[in-house]
Structure 1
Amino acid sequence: MAQDGLSSSLSNSPPTHYSLKLESFSMLTEISVDTYESGEFGAGGYKWKLVVYPNGNTKKNVEDHISVYLKLAEANSLQIGSEVSVDFRLFLLDQNMGTYLVLHDANMNKMCLHGAMLQVGFDRVIPLKEFSVASNGYLIDDACVLGAEVFVLKERRAGKVECLSRNKSAFMKKHCWKIMSFSMLKSQFLQSEPFTAGGQTWKIMLYPRGNDDGKKSHVSVYLRLANPPEKLSPGSQLLTEYTLRIVDQLNGKHMSRKSDYAWFSALNTAWGWSRFIELGSFKMPNNGYLVKNTYCLVEAEVTVHGIAKALEPAKALEPAKA
C-alpha cells in the first residue's frame, strides 16, 4: 500500500543494520520531548543515527504523527558539495504478530544527503492514534521497536562549490597614513604601508593628479588588497565595508566617503573613488587638507563582514557496494 508518499510491506525478518527499542514511549510524549536521537550504527561505510520525533516534527508542521529520520552521525564525513544517495527503509515491529511493517519511499526515489542537508526520512510514519492501539501491536506495555536498513546506492562530489560564511568577530580597523612632501611628488600614484584588517593585508592608494575620469581634476583614493594571491584563494571574495578619508587638519571638517558593501577578490583588488576630491579644493590652504603645501593625512576604516570561499573541485566517487 502507498500513503502520504510512503510505501509499506510486511517482513518476517528483522532489520539488517539497526534496531532501537523504546521501553517508555509515553515518557517522551508526556514531557513533550521534541526529538530522540539513537546511538550510532554503521552502514555503507558511514555512521548513522535514527532521529525520532514522538509528537511529530513541528518544524514541518507535522501533528499527531510520529516522524523518523536518518541522520549522518559524523557531519564532517560529508563535505559541502558531496552527495550520498541512499535507500532508507524504516522498520516498525508488530509485537503481536512478530512481523515488521517496512516503510520506504512510495516512488522508489533515492534519498539524497549532502553537506547542507544531513538527514532524510519520513515526516508522517504513522498516526499516533493508530500507533497507540494495542491490537495493532506497535506499542505494547509502553514499549516499541524501530529498525533501519540503509543501502548506499551512489556517492558523488560536485565540481565547483562556494560557501559564504560570516565573520562573527568582525570589527573595524583604522589605519592612518601621513604623506610628506606632497607638492614634490612625481609618481603617478602612491601606496601606504600595508596594514591588516579581517585577516587580510590592505593598502591605501592615492593618485595625486587623479585617475580615470578624475585625471587632472581630482585626487583619486582607493582601498586595495595587498598580495591577494598569497592570502585569498582563487574564486574567493571578501564582503567588505570601508571608509576613506582625507583629514582636515585645521578645521576638523574631514573629506570622507563611505562605501556600500563591496566584494574584494583576486580579480577585483581595489575599490574607491576616482573623483574623491577636486584638486582645487584639496590644495586650498584654508581647507586644511594639504598643510603648508607639504603633507596630508589619509585614513582608512575597514570592516570585513564575511568571506565567500570557492571550495576545491572534488573527483566523482565510484558507486558504493551495498
Structure 2
Amino acid sequence: MVMDTAISNGTDSMVIEATTMGRGSHVSTVAEAGRDDFDAVRWERDIAPSHFRLRIESFYKLTKMLSEGGIQCFTSKVFEASGYQWEFSMYPNGVGLNKGHISVFLCIQNTSALPLGDKVNKFHYLKQECGISKFVPRCEFDDAANGYLVDDTCVFGVEVFVIHSKFVEQRLSPLVKVGETYTWKVSGFSNMNKVCYSDEFTAASFKWKVTLYPLGVGSKRPDGLNLGLYLTLVDPGATPNALLVYFMLFIRNQKYGKHQVGQFCCCYSSESLSWGWESFMPLADLRDLSNGFIVNDCIIVEAHIKNVSIIQ
C-alpha cells in the first residue's frame, strides 16, 4: 500500500493517494486529507512507494499486542522528505468511529518551517496531521485473495510529493513471544527513600532492569504519594535502532493474590530507554499492611516481558 502526499501551492486541499499492491496490481485512492469522511476515487498505477516503506512481518500478532497494551496505532520512526520531518501512523482497527477499517495518517514534525494558514498548503503549524480514516476495510484487507496480507506480512508505503525527498525504510521483524518473568524481592522497603534498581536480567537476548521509585517520581523531588515503577533497557549500544516491547509489571499481593498490575506496549530506543508509570500505585495502599503487599517489610516486584519486535 502506498500513501502519496502532495502539498499544493494554491487554495486546493492537500491530497493523499493510497495505493494497494495486491496480486501485482496497483489501485490508487485519492481524497482530501484529514480525519473527516470523504468520497474516494480509484484508478490503477504501476509505481511502487519510493520514500518510506513499513514492512510488518507479523500483522495479526502486532494488532493483538497493540490492543492488549491499550495502544491504537503503530507510529513509525521519523523520516525526511524534501527537508521536512515526517511520521507515519497505522491504526489496524481504525480510528474514532471508523472501526472495521485500517486508518493511516501522516504527521509533520518541524512545523516552524511551515506557513501560518491553509492558502499555501494543508500542513501548517495548527494542522500537523493528515490522513485517511477509511483507508481499506479490514474484511477486504484480511482476505488473502486480495493480496494485501500474505503469510501475515504486509507493506505500507508513503510518498511525499515535495520538490526533493529521501527514501527511508523501516522494518518490523516478526514478533517474538518471550514470556519470561523476572522476580525481585525488595527488602527493607520502609527505609528506602531514593531510586533503586534491580539486578540485570536477560530476556529476548537483551538486558533489562527494573527501576523503582519508593517515594514517587519528580523532576525536583518525589511527591511522596505514589510508587513509581519502570522497565529499563540496559546497554543501549548493543541495541538495534529500536525495540517494540509488550510487557507487564507487578507488585505481588503476598496474602490475597490480588496483585497490582500494569501493562504497556512501547518503543525502546537510545532516546527512550525506560518506560513505566510515575504513579504505579498509591503508597498509602501499598503501606497498609492489611492489604497484603508488604510482608516482613518486603515487597515483591515482577517484570513479565511478553513480546519483542526489532524495528530496523
Identify whether the pair has TM-score above 0.5, normalized to the shorter chain: no
Query: Normalising by structure 1, what TM-score?
Result: 0.44
- The structure that has the greater radius of gyration is 1
